């Protein structure tokens, strides 16, 4: 199996990671999305096996005991998210580089395990107020889930300096161009 590159996108929920990752996947670049496993419930227009592998908590714990994850985190109390080893292998076997939309700790763990191959990008909202407006504007979470995400954002923002680059997602078109340019440069490096 030829190993490709790994592109980690991390940021507080609501910063625009998903929007930027979808933009990258629409480009003529051989990239594939690492479909994480999660024990949270399916949300809005999400599709099982496309956005996430939705597992029950006991199924998730079973996979932990089988050592099936490259990394996993209890991102919110009682809610697990993780990257399956089989996902990276699947995409590399298809000749693709891998995109990850994962939390800051998981992202840095990928970088630790594949230091040469990984470009870790931190997507930063222009301000905490913008983050809140975007989370509310998305309209996919309950008020409680929005608060949980905002409470977590503070700690996540403090991880930005550990990443290879920080992309401020203010003007969306500018941020889209910046991620495409960073990804292409790293593939060609």
Q: For binding to ligand 5GP (CB under 6 A), which residues are involved?
A: 13, 36, 40, 71, 73, 75, 81-83, 101-103, 106
- Residue 61 vs 136, nearer CB to ligand ADP: 136
- Least Å from the CB of residue 157 to ligand ADP: 13
What HEC string does 19-83 produce?
HHHHHHHCCCCCEEECCEEECCCCCCCCCECCCEEECCHHHHHHHHHCCCEEEEEEEECCEEEEE
d(CA 64, CA 71): 9
- Residue 117 vs 182, nearer CB to ligand ADP: 182
Across the beta sheet with 79-84, the strand order is 52-54, 36-38, 79-84, 69-76
- Least Å from the CB of residue 1 to ligand ADP: 29
d(CA 79, CA 76): 5
d(CA 189, CA 109): 22
- Least Å from the CB of residue 28 to ligand 5GP: 25
Cβ–Cβ < 8 Å for 100, 110: yes
Contact flag: residue 107 with ligand ADP (CB under 6 A): no
- Residue 22 vs 61, nearer CB to ligand ADP: 22
Q: Which of 169, 179, 183, 186 is in the footprint of ligand ADP by CB under 6 A?
A: 169
- Binders of ligand ADP in range 58-97 (CB under 6 A): none
Q: Which of 42, 64, 165, 172 is in the footprint of ligand ADP by CB under 6 A?
A: 172
Q: Which two tokens stand for residue 162?
A: 């550990």
Binding positions for ligand ADP, rule: CB under 6 A: 11, 13-19, 134, 137-138, 169, 172, 175
């Amino acid at each position: 199996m030829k190993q490709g590159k790994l592109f980690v996108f991390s940021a507080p929920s609501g910063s625009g990671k998903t929007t930027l990752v979808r933009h990258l996947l629409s480009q003529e670049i051989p990239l594939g999305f690492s479909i994480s496993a999660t024990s949270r419930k399916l949300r809005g227009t999400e599709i099982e096996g496309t956005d996430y592998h939705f597992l029950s908590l006991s199924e998730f714990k079973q996979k932990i005991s089988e050592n099936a994850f490259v990394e996993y985190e209890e991102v919110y109390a009682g809610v697990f998210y993780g990257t399956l080893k089989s996902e990276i292998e699947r995409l590399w076997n298809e000749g693709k580089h891998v995109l990850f939309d994962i939390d800051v700790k998981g992202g840095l763990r990928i970088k630790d395990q594949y230091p040469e191959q990984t470009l870790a990008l931190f997507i930063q909202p222009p301000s905490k107020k913008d983050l809140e407006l975007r989370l509310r504007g998305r309209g996919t979470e309950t008020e409680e889930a929005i608060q949980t995400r905002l409470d977590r954002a503070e700690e996540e923002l403090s991880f930005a300096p550990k990443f290879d680059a920080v992309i401020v997602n203010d003007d969306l078109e500018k941020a889209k161009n910046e991620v495409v340019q960073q990804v292409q440069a790293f593939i060609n490096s």
